[in-house]
Amino acid sequence: MISVGADNPYGHPDPIALRYYDLYADAIYRTDRDGSIVVSGRRDGSFDVTTWDAAGHSVTRTFPAPEEG
């Protein structure tokens, strides 16, 4: 999850960092692109990520608990 303002003067997030995140992350959420972000975790390690755009539309994605091993 990256908290960043749209069209910020610093050029964040850095394109090189985004490439590294893309290699290892199941998903990348950005406040400039995805709006508000809420993560809701469960005891088993699974969690939901819900985003809301400026119009109030929400999208939820569920991530399973990590495999042990």
Quote the tokens at residue 21: 């995140």
Least Cα distance to 33 among 8, 9, 16 occurs for 8
Instruction: Quote the CA–CA distance of 25 and 30 in Å, as a whole number.
Output: 13
> Token match 């985004």: residue?
18
Whole-prediction pTM: 0.81
Written as six digits, the tokens of 40 are 């809701």
How far out from the chain centre does Cα 19 lie?
15
pLDDT tens digits for range 35-45: 999 999 999 99
Q: What is the pLDDT of residue 68?
A: 78
